[in-house]
Structure 1
Amino acid sequence: MSTLTSPVNTNRQTILVCFLAALAGLLFGLDMGVIAGALPFLAQEFTLSSHSQEVVVSVMMFGAALGALCSGPMSSSLGRRKSLLIGALLFVVGSVGCAMAPALSVLVISRFILGLAVGVASFTAPLYLSEIAPERIRGSMISLYQLMITIGILAAFLSDTAFSAGGHWRWMLGIITFPALVLFIGVLTLPESPRWLAMKDRHELAAKVLKLLRNSDQEAREELAQIRESVKMKQRGLQLFRHNPHFRRSTYLGVLLQFMQQFTGMTVIMYYAPKIFEIAGFTTTREQMWGTVIAGLTNVLATFIAIGLVDRWGRKPILKLGFSVMAVCMGLLGYLFYSGISAGAEQYVAVAVLLIFITGFAMSAGPLIWVLCSEIQPLAGRDFGVTCSTMANWIANMMIGATFLTLIDTIGSPNTFWLYALLNVVCIVLTLIFVPETKNISLENIERNLMRGAPLRHIGQTPHTHSVITTERSL
């Protein structure tokens, strides 16, 4: 067995670098979370209808989709590190614009700029982490990014609750400026991805980075040899997508995974948490905001489950468990809303079911979809593949954010939550059919399996099983 997969202690420098890169997730989470608390005050300030509220929420996702689309070429030409720096600057500009918005149009434009920042961060940070971290902790380090998202959401909910007493929505939206500046300063200290350096034929610098981030020179040499072998493929991005059917398969899988994550229904809970608590019978702003904080705290704590288990249990078993939990909880919420929530006991049962749902998401689809999307793409087309999957995430996110209140108004709360329960059942089936297990497998071995025509669910097999899996019909 290679030293790359041996159970040795991880280089502390690697942990520090991964932590700094994962700070992009904190900004991501803050942007997702602040709108939940600010939206009722924005609706009052600018006299917003349900549709206008959906526009304020979903315009950020539209910007994120465009940001993700631009991130592929930008990350490929400028590098992962400079792309993160650009994302941090966009966070600063967008948050200041939201805080100072004199009119709805300025607010929408600023939210769009924040969306661009989120798109860049959601593309670049997981990609950078997957290329910096050794495979034995790759899942945990990418899950750290998701943990930072949940911490950002919780921090946003807490600040929203603090500012809600005085209705200070400008402070709710502007507070993001400060961690954005911290991210910018932190990224200045990061090394460039060794895989990107190798793609640019800067092998000596790639070797220096690996020696800094790995436990021994031998480990660094072995990984660099694997990277140099994988970058020999000259096709890139769209060209590879057009001419290589195996790369098309991994690209489509990445897109599918991101739609699966968004269609669980977690997005609506994060964006419209106070509204959901209102439906559950909590009528005061104080009750709704503190309920939102509890939801955010649950999201943070449950993410530690994924970090602790993703590299032990694997990706696929945790996903199946998570989708099952979410399907049951959405079904129960639909039933509770259908039967009517009138007593205090029924309210707290609804809250308990909601928190279990959040736990199911945070321990599974929340972090693990990002892990898988960063793992399944071959190096020669990784920027293109991750661009497509990240853009799909935000397109699906926009669809959910722009339709939830409309669904509530048209088909009612019970049917809306039953719809999400059905979608989670569909996600279980898709996981069984298409999703591979990539635990403890190097990115290079995943790529070799994919390019040899292994079925998608088998591209995470160990090298000695290649001869078996390539005989099966590709999905």
Structure 2
Amino acid sequence: MKINPSYLYILFLSLVAAIGGFLFGYDTAVISGTISQVSQQFELSVIAQGWYVGCALLGSIIGVSFAGGLSDKYGRKKVMLLSAVLFSISAIGCAIASSYNELILYRIIGGAGIGMVSIVSPMYISEVAPSAIRGSLVSLYQLAITIGFLGAFLMNFQLLSIAETQLFKDSPLLSQVFHEEVWRAMLGMEIVPAFLFFIVLLFIPESPRWLVINNQIAKAEHVFTKLYTSAVTGKQKVEEVLKQADQTTESSWGLLKNPLVLKPVLLGMAIAILGQFMGVNAVLYYGPSIFEQSGLSGGDALYYQVMVGVVNVLTTILALFIIDRVGRKKLVYFGVSGMVISLLLISFYFYGSEMYGLPSLFLLILFLAYIFFTAISISAVIFVLLSEMYPNKIRGLAMSIAGFSLWLGTYLVGQLTPWFLENLGPSGTFLFFALMCFPYMYIIWKKIPETAGRSLEEIENYWFGKGIKNK
């Protein structure tokens, strides 16, 4: 029987889950506009300032460590609701924090929300999306992250503008939040998307594949029927998931002892952590200081960084439209090849800029090229692959393990990049990033199957030695 997905309904579910990505991006980026104010108000040392910036990463590692197990036991929807609550608590707590330690606590709580949503939102999308457009829909999550980054920058800019006006001056409380200590408003405004996320989550169903695995067959059939507009199709989808589940009777942790299952888990960990060492976070987080090392003023460096952010968003939109047509692996081959060339040229720029008098505009072009190739390949592909390459029964646990690797890599890059820049110099740092692209490319080429257009059950069959072949 022909399957006719209800595309508008599936798009609605995907957009709701993708709001988690916006919160991820906003919470991560909003901190940049508050550092100097918070440091001045609480008289922070350099170490304390670094802890204020990085403490959310600890929360993310904690959140991602528990999210998979919680989502396998209680469902994807409930964990997304929990993350919305954590984001809301963090936003309100940061806005009213009376001490540095309170502020750190609420930042860690928000980080836990980031860690949870970073694996559960794309996982939910992958489990409701038809195979033909699954890549594009999961990519909505990555797009939402980039929009969250820009949203935070724009909100910080707007609130700083308000602080220079007479608006809210008549109210002592509002005057404190929007004028004297505007960082409170910057962190507190996250309550708006967090509350919206919580409300709209109440109107979406639980993942039908999770319902099947947890023997809630009637509910699963109902959800599949809404997704595919046919009761017969709903029953067929349930039978397909049940048939696959019957082949794996072990528990989640028991399945990990199976070498055929452990293999994709280890491969997911590898591409998650390697992707962080290919330079993208160093460019996004340390871009202004890198530009300043090329001789730009602080203002020009920030302007260049905004352009980097815009290219990141626009390219992610492009990736969203082509990822299912081109395929995951071809995007990686194209994008990572371009990343290697861009990184090598950036390395050469810093090595020979003084010798050859290379203009700073040349560096901007190379950075924009690098961001283009990154956004259209590894950034667009990573959450798609991680959300679809694991067996149904252990998808939550496996994504927690991969997510832990991703956040560990993010933490290490954040800590090591200043050391790299100081000891290797910008030229050596970008050369190192270029070299790290090769093992990533090899794993995608030799070890990961092409998943575009394949159902989650077909992909699961691949790891068990039957069904689709690697491409």
TM-score using structure 2 length? 0.89
Aligned residues: percent identity?
31
Letter in 2 for 1:57: V
Q: 1:230 to 1:432 in 2, by over 3 A?
A: same
The answer as to 2:216 corresponding to 1:220 is no
Determine the structure 2 residue equivalent to 1:407: 420
Secondary structure of the residue that 1:67 maps to in structure 2?
helix
Determine the structure 1 residue equivalent to 2:441: 428
Secondary structure of the residue that 1:231 maps to in structure 2?
helix
Residue 220 (structure 2) aligned to one of 206, 221, 224: 206
Counterparts of residues 125-140 of structure 1 (less than 5 Å): 125-140=121-136
The answer as to 2:256 corresponding to 1:238 is no
Deviations 1:354-404 (A, max 9, x none): 111111111111121111111111112212111111111111111111222
Letter in 2 for 1:39: I
Q: 1:10 to 1:352 in 2, by over 3 A?
A: farther
Secondary structure of the residue that 2:325 maps to in structure 1?
coil
How far, CA to CA, are the matches of 1:389 and 1:53 in structure 2? 29
Q: Using the TM superposition, give the Cα deviation of residue 103 of structure 1 relative to its aligned residue in structure 2, in angstroms.
A: 4.1
Counterparts of residues 216-365 of structure 1 (less than 5 Å): 216-232=230-246, 233-242=248-257, 244-284=258-298, 286-340=299-353, 346-365=359-378
The answer as to 2:167 corresponding to 1:171 is no
The answer as to 2:14 corresponding to 1:25 is no
How far, CA to CA, are the matches of 2:29 and 2:357 in structure 1? 27
Deviations 1:215-241 (A, max 9, x none): 433432322221111222321221111
Q: What are structure 2's unaligned runs of at least 5 residues? A: 164-180
Determine the structure 2 residue equivalent to 1:60: 56
Letter in 2 for 1:441: R
Letter in 2 for 1:92: S
Determine the structure 1 residue equivalent to 2:176: none
Residue pair 2:56, 2:110 contacting (<8 A) in 1 also: yes
Residue pair 1:51, 1:406 contacting (<8 A) in 2 also: no
Q: Using the TM superposition, give the Cα deviation of residue 452 of structure 1 relative to its aligned residue in structure 2, in angstroms.
A: 2.3
Q: 1:173 to 1:355 in 2, by over 3 A?
A: farther
Residue pair 1:37, 1:164 contacting (<8 A) in 2 also: no
How far, CA to CA, are the matches of 2:404 and 2:232 in structure 1? 38
Letter in 2 for 1:240: L
Q: 1:435 to 1:428 in 2, by over 3 A?
A: same
Q: Using the TM superposition, give the Cα deviation of residue 422 of structure 1 relative to its aligned residue in structure 2, in angstroms.
A: 1.4
Q: Using the TM superposition, give the Cα deviation of residue 54 of structure 1 relative to its aligned residue in structure 2, in angstroms.
A: 4.0
Secondary structure of the residue that 1:291 maps to in structure 2?
helix
Moved more, 79-88 or 230-239: 230-239
Secondary structure of the residue that 2:326 maps to in structure 1?
coil
Deviations 1:437-465 (A, max 9, x none): 111111111111211278xxx6557xxxx
Determine the structure 1 residue equivalent to 2:65: 69
Secondary structure of the residue that 2:302 maps to in structure 1?
helix
Residue pair 1:28, 1:122 contacting (<8 A) in 2 also: yes
How far, CA to CA, are the matches of 1:180 and 1:342 in structure 2? 51
Q: 1:213 to 1:403 in 2, by over 3 A?
A: same
Determine the structure 1 residue equivalent to 2:173: none
The answer as to 2:408 corresponding to 1:395 is yes
Q: Using the TM superposition, give the Cα deviation of residue 278 of structure 1 relative to its aligned residue in structure 2, in angstroms.
A: 2.5
Aligned length: 452
Determine the structure 2 residue equivalent to 1:158: 154
TM-score using structure 1 length? 0.88
Residue pair 1:246, 1:453 contacting (<8 A) in 2 also: no
Residue pair 2:13, 2:204 contacting (<8 A) in 1 also: yes
Secondary structure of the residue that 1:407 maps to in structure 2?
helix
Letter in 2 for 1:230: Q
Q: 1:292 to 1:437 in 2, by over 3 A?
A: same
Determine the structure 2 residue equivalent to 1:13: 9
Residue pair 2:72, 2:394 contacting (<8 A) in 1 also: no
Considering only aligned residues, what root-mean-square deviation do their CA atoms show, in Å? 2.4
How far, CA to CA, are the matches of 1:460 and 1:206 in structure 2? 31
Determine the structure 2 residue equivalent to 1:472: none
